[in-house]
Amino acid sequence: MQNIKASKFVFPILFIILVLDTSYTFLQHMGKVLDGDLPAIILFTYQYEFLQGEPFGWKAISEGVRYGGVNRYFVHWYISGFYKTIPSFLQNFVNPIDSIFIAAGISKTAIHLSLLSILAMMIVGAKKLWNKEVLIAMLILVPLFQSGGHFYRYFGIVSQSFTYSSFYALPLFLLLLYLKPFYDCLQKKKNEVHWVFKILLIPFLVILPFSGPLVPGVVLVIGFLAFIKIFEDYFKGKLILIFDRIPGYLLVSYACLSVLCLYSIYLGQFNVESGEGGISIFERYSRLPLGLYYQLSQKMVFPLLFLMLFINLFLIRKYDINYSKINTIFKWIGLFSILYLLLLPLGGFREYRPNIIRKDTFLPIIIGLVYLYGYSTYLILKSNKLKHWKVYFSLVLAFSFVFTYADEPDFEGYECQRNQIQTISESSEPVLKISDDCNVLSWYPIEKPEHSELQSELFQLWNIRKESIEFYQEKQ
């Protein structure tokens, strides 16, 4: 690593690699179809009509009304606001149809870069993004961010679906951003927090509990683990690390956040989407092992990652590369994973997630594993204790190559949907029959003209059509 850092030519090359990878990621994300949840969410219609102007679910609590997204207002607000404004701006440069796909690519790539950056900064311990060490950490992590291909189905951090990327990856990035000052204080004895984060604390308290299905559970599990750590330090007669290093206002903030997350979980019982194909709690827990087995065993992604983590831990222990600290991090992330998995069945049931665990619900654990790999690899590469540094570096390159190769290019997955929309935009018919080769902003073929009302309204909003139109698809 010292040789790498010494060369003045290396960092421009590394930066170019990162730019090229980001461009590749953007093309991957832009080239995906727009999913069937978008019309109702953008327009706040059907099961989401009560959600507009109701960020905290007062109507559900006071009147017992059940409606969609009841405790997820801010993600709905983001999706709706984004798609009501960004395509219009992009139409200054591209045609209306291209604008809606480019907009999705921009959002998903921004989430990708944001998660990559915050994890790299936490690995390095940096407070600023423009840091050479951060760039190295980002390049260590980059291969693990799969946008498509063999590993994506089980390890995709940012979903190909605009809706799912907004509901899962985006809120977890915001949570990591909120947690970074806590992390920095625990890593160093200095407990100074940048004034920007102090200002953001209140908006975070309002937004995080009502942004996506994962954040409340993750916050509560981390809080529970913090209590375990406090009692562990107390009974060992040691100075309680959390109270010693984390400022009081941050601890009060987390306590308030935890209370609001408990309220959000309670509010979730009024979410009509949680009742789809409901099964008993016992049956949900009985399906959990099978879901975990399928998640970990269907592709080589997890066996390869676990093998690298084992090698890293072995080398860190053998050469005493900050072993005590790394071992502690491994232990706490392991405990977090167990507790998080045990909470998952309490979050309801979805028919499209029959075994409870899928890459979207597994995402907090995936991010934890990515951090473990990045942090342990970074420390080993940085250490002067490793005798066979070039051999290990070659192993990291080989591991990175396998993941990079698995992230196969798929830049034209949206072509069929785009062609369908093009046909709709050019038609002069009030009712149009289109092929059933692919869906048009719907999860299923639209078999009746009246069922295309929302899609037609969006096409007018996006300047794809001036007049409304009804369309339908007949199965061949």
**Mean pLDDT value of segment 313-337:** 93
% of the chain surpassing 70 pLDDT: 96
196 pLDDT band (50/70/90 cuts)? confident
The residue extents of the domains of the chain are 2-406, 415-473
pLDDT at residue 5 in the model:
53
pLDDT at residue 128 in the model:
81
pLDDT at residue 7 in the model:
56
1 pLDDT band (50/70/90 cuts)? low
pLDDT at residue 277 in the model:
52
> Is the pLDDT higher at 399 or at 474?
399
The amino acid present at 55, given as its one-letter code, is P
**Mean pLDDT value of segment 69-79:** 94
| Phi, psi values for residue 371, rounded to 5° | -60, -45
**Mean pLDDT value of segment 179-187:** 90
12 pLDDT above the threshold of 80: yes
> Is the pLDDT higher at 302 or at 68?
302
370 pLDDT above the threshold of 60: yes
The Cα 42–Cα 284 span in angstroms is 32
- Mean pLDDT, the chain, as a whole number? 91
476 pLDDT above the threshold of 90: no
281 pLDDT above the threshold of 90: no
% of the chain surpassing 90 pLDDT: 69
**Mean pLDDT value of segment 196-221:** 93
> Is the pLDDT higher at 102 or at 12?
102
| Phi, psi values for residue 188, rounded to 5° | -130, 155
Provide the Cα torsion 138, 365, 76, 460; round to 10°.
60
pLDDT at residue 212 in the model:
87
9 pLDDT band (50/70/90 cuts)? low
Least confident of 247-261, 270-284, 399-413: 270-284
